Structure 1
Amino acid sequence: MIGAAAMAFTDTLLTETDATLVMVDRRPRPGGHWNDAYPFVRLHSAATFYGVNSAPLGEGRIDRVGWNSGHLELSSGAAICGYFDDVMRHRFLASGRVTFLPSHEYGPGGFATSRLTGSRTILHARRRIVDGTHADTRLPSTHPPSFPIAPSVRLVTPDALPGITRPATDFVIIGGGKTAIDCVLWLLEQDLPPERIFWIRPRDSWFYNRKRMQPQSDVAAGTIEQYVIDMESARDAKNIDDLFRKLETKNALLRIDPEVTPTMFHCATVTEAELSQLRRVRNVIRKGRVTAIEPDRIMLEHGEIPTGRETVHVHCAASGVPVRPTEPVFQHGRIVLQFIQHCWPTFSAAAIALLDARRSDDAVRNRLAVPVRMADRPIDWLRGELASRENEALWFAEPDLAEWSAGARVDGFTRLFLAAEKSPDPALRDLVSRLEAASGPGIARIRALLEAAGGTDYMERSAGSAQNGV
């Protein structure tokens, strides 16, 4: 699957080596799940550090209108697909070192089978197979509901929302993840009264405050402050609940309903303006997951609610990025692309390619690239912070890797900290000093909190029982 991670890996490998590559994708063009996404989808983090390292995405502008106003621009799904198509054509294929097999399935025995003609191509990797499917995103448009639906029920996926031509009495949003949030915000943008939206939200989520995830020098203070808040809150936390209270009090983490304790965390971001809009929807149903939709009622795990023939039900309950057990990145004859920095897919993939190019021993490579499992529950915030900071410490102890990070577009944050250290602004230098003072105690406290919660065993059990999307 040639999604963002595979593209970022290939781009860095082309820069660092003289390798040749064959890229196989079941879709007709690169971009992975972005090709299947709904038309109003946008990145939920800044475009400036998404994509491949060699080519900028977007213009680095600050939005001046809308609910993202004051923050770095968020590229649309269409723009991202066009970007990856350009990278494939003008960077990868033009290099003469990349062969692209679109609309092909890669299967046992090393065969790439065309989905159009059925012809098979045998592929022999001189070095390794690179597996980019570990974080294969599942969307409503490609993964139908797991519950039965009566034939007369109006049920659509998010990509069909803009094409609705028959008016609806109301809308039921099914799911509590980022897709559901996008659909609610889109409906509100169309001036739909919030009382006509019913939101089945089995799990509430913690969100990053996008204001504090801005990798650009003119908005650097809020970004550096996020790291300071994370470490100082961890250092001073009495327990895990106290940690999340501190993070929320300082607006580092946000939730929609202040009266409901979130049980989900998927690395998503929102602005405070978006949060204000989401809170306008008061018809929130918390009776578990949908088990069936009948013509006059929606059956849930813990009850039912009425519905009607002119109600549009929006399926946002696909599992998103599956939570899978991690495995070594570098294996015999194989590289498995995974996060090695919490919530950073393209940086992680590019960094893995760099290690493949600059280190010759797999034991050394794996020591510098310990996988971070995809987040699902709030405790995964702690696990991700711990693993990321430990990876970062190892990485920055290697001069060539540290130098690469400082100049890498897909990093985005390292250069902010380096610039802040030399800044004439005393407020920025003070933030850096506070971070240096809090990081050691903060990481030690996160480790202690995890151990008190059951340590590694607890985290692996949470992966086995995770339910994404809703």
Structure 2
Amino acid sequence: MPETVIEVDYLVVGTGAVGMAFADVLLNESDATIAMVDRYAKPGGHWNAAYPFVQLHQPSQFYGVTSRELSRGRVEQGGLNDGLNELASGAEVSAYFDDVMRHQFLPSGRVQYFPMCDYQGDGRFVSKVGGNEYRVKVRKKIVDATFLKTKVPSTHTPNFSIEDGVKFMPLNDLPKITHQPDRYVIVGGGKTGIDACLWLLQMGCDPDKIQWIRPRDAWLLNRRNTQPTEDFFFDVFNAQAGLMESAAAAESFDDLFTKLEDCGYFLRLDEGHRPEMFHGATISIAELAALRAIKDVVRLGRITHLGTEQIEFQRGSLPVSKNTLFVDCSARPVDELPDVQVFAADVITPQMVRSYQPVFSAALVAHVELHYHGDGEKNRLCAVVPPPEADTDFAHFTAISFTNQYNWSQDGDLSEWILQNRLDGFSQMVKTAEGNPEKIAVLKRMRSNGVAAVMNLMKLDQEYKQAEAQ
């Protein structure tokens, strides 16, 4: 089959949230032409394979592309997110990205979109449907928007053996059950496990019928402190001030987490069990209260073998009740990643440059690509904030995020761009402090501890790494 040759300025591999947010800035801040390639039939990346009841766990205003609002500006009433800004469902997010592609990107005449294609590297890809082969001549850069490779339960292979006859399913299949089991066993203590438990509870399941296998507990962020509207100014910035003060004063990691919990920055499910994991998941106080009703929590390490009569763990075993359904929520959100800079010659690898905000990060990376010169300067402004895994990663990635924020604040043009970018969320809230002594006092608390916080976080991180190496 003859090869079709395409010539564009940028080749964007991956049309998930990161690729879409990056391309949106290219389209709106330049006259660049773009080819976009993806293995799914529609844009949206992992949202194409997400479980049916998935929602964003941060407000919708933080998500999507810069040029089009995802949120309708509503505050939720009733339910476990009562009184907080709306959280888009997975279906809403998927429809949103499809709409952006069909009604913004393609009508621009500068985007060529190739769904259902396998990218083979070096500007080449092949259609999974028709077998057509393509080669892209890239005038400027290749953008690898697949680097983070977010995992979802439906595409995850468990890292333990499963005996024939065990009733075991990915979270995606949970709404399809037709016969009620006597017990639900949720495998995994992260955000996916939280979602599974909350869904069961909201569907009327007795919490005593749920067993929750949590190899590690997680530190969680209070969703009230992530709201991007003026009504929540004091929640947001008191939490940030508490973070700065805690980071500046902490004498150890244990002391840091104690201080962060005391100031309301961190939450945990079990007040009697100290978490060891942190993935940046957010939760409402109402969700926290609901989850605490589940009392059968297993902490014997990871599962090694799942049998019809017994579960084997790293640190013990438990019998399996008859008519038990196991729900797999054990996938890590992102695999351990190699150290790769965002800008490297003719390849851009968008990654997080601000904590917890991958789409804002992708938009900022695209803006820096268009308006700044030299990989050295671009990487200085876009230092990678690696996705956290363990609680001890918190100091490292927070220090980098703070440093990036400081570097941006020293650049007037970039600061103004961030202020006007809807994905930023908080800069517009800062402006509301003008003339308000109480708000100004909170911001002073936050800013006065900034340098000390970064220096101490770096110190704690270095001390921890040295102790681990010994």
Same structural fold, with TM-score higher than 0.5 when normalized by the shorter chain: yes
- Residue 402 of structure 2 corresponds to which residue in structure 1? 389
What's 1:377 paired with? Answer: 390
Instruction: Single out whichever of 78-87 and 252-261 deviates more from structure 2.
Output: 252-261
1:146 deviates by: 2.3
CA distance in 2 between partners of 1:264 and 1:45 (Å): 19
* Contact kept in structure 1, 2:245 and 2:453, CA below 8 Å: yes
Counterpart Cα distance in 2 of 1:309 and 1:261: 32
**Do residues 168 (structure 1) and 220 (structure 2) align?**
no
| Preserved contact between residue 322 and residue 374 of structure 1 (Cα < 8 Å) | no
Partner of 1:323: 336
**Cα distance in 2 for residues equivalent to 1:235 and 1:116:** 56
Whole-angstrom distance in 1 between the partners of 2:121 and 2:202: 47
Question: Which residue of 1 is the match for residue 450 of structure 2?
Answer: 439
TM superposition shift of 1:158: 1.0
Question: Residue 340 of structure 1 is aligned with which of 334, 353, 366?
Answer: 353
Distance, in Å, in 2 between the alignment partners of 1:386 and 1:109 is 35
Q: Which amino acid aligns with 2:459?
A: A
Give the aligned partner of residue 23 of structure 2: 10
CA shift at 1:97, angstroms?
0.5
Partner residue in 1 for 2:93:
80
Q: Which runs of 5+ in 2 are unaligned?
A: 1-13
2:190 is aligned to 177
State the alpha-carbon separation in 1 of the partners of residues 382 and 130 from structure 2.
Answer: 39
Letter of the 1:336 counterpart: T
The 2-side partners of 1:98 and 1:55 are apart by 17
Q: Name the aligned partner's letter for residue 260 of structure 1.
A: H
Moved more, 323-332 or 227-236: 323-332
Poorly superposed stretches of 4+, deviation over 3 Å: none
2:293 aligns with one of 280, 292, 296: 280
Aligned length: 456
Partner of 2:113: 100
Q: How far apart, in 2, do the equivalents of 1:427 and 1:109 lie?
A: 56
The alpha carbon displacement at 1:119 in A equals 1.8
Deviation string for 1:289-336 (max 9, x for gaps)?
Answer: 111211112121222112145211001111211231331111121001
* SS state at 1:57 partner: coil
Match status 1:24 vs 2:37:
yes
How much has 1:451 moved relative to structure 2?
2.4
User: 1:452 aligns to what?
Assistant: 463
Q: Secondary structure at the match of 2:154?
A: coil
Amino acid at match of 1:452: E
Alignment TM-score, normalising by the size of structure 2? 0.94
In structure 1, the residue corresponding to 2:219 is in which secondary structure? strand
How far apart are residue 288 of structure 1 and its match? 1.2
Between the aligned partners of 1:309 and 1:146, the Cα distance in structure 2 is 24
Q: Residue 372 of structure 1 aligns to which amino acid in structure 2? A: V
Q: Secondary structure at the match of 2:67?
A: coil
Q: Does 1:428 align with 2:439?
A: yes
Mapping of residues 26-175 of structure 1, within 5 Å:
26-175=39-188
| 3-state DSSP of counterpart to 1:122 | strand
**Identity level (%):** 39
How far apart are the structure 1 equivalents of 2:172 and 2:463?
Answer: 44
Residue 202 (1) aligns with residue 215 (2): yes
Query: 1:39-58 CA distances to partner (integer Å, 9 max, x unpaired)?
Result: 11100001011111000012
Contact 1:323 1:375 in 2 (8 A): no
- Assess if the C-alpha contact under 8 Å between 1:110 and 1:123 holds in 2: yes
Q: Give the deviation of 1:258 after TM superposition.
A: 1.4
Aligned Cα root-mean-square deviation (Å): 1.4
* Contact 1:154 1:309 survives alignment (8 Å): no
Q: Deviations over 1:55-78 (max 9, x none)?
A: 001212111111111111100000
Contact in 2 for aligned 1:235/1:438 (Cα 8 Å): yes
Structure 1 position 242 matched with structure 2 position 242: no
Cα deviations across residues 397-424 of structure 1 (Å, max 9, x unaligned)? 111110000111111112212322x1x4
Instruction: Name 1:398's counterpart in structure 2.
Output: 411
**Secondary structure of the equivalent of 2:459?**
helix
**Contact preservation (8 Å) 2:62, 2:357:** no
Q: Contact 1:338–1:345 (CA<8 Å) still a contact in 2?
A: yes
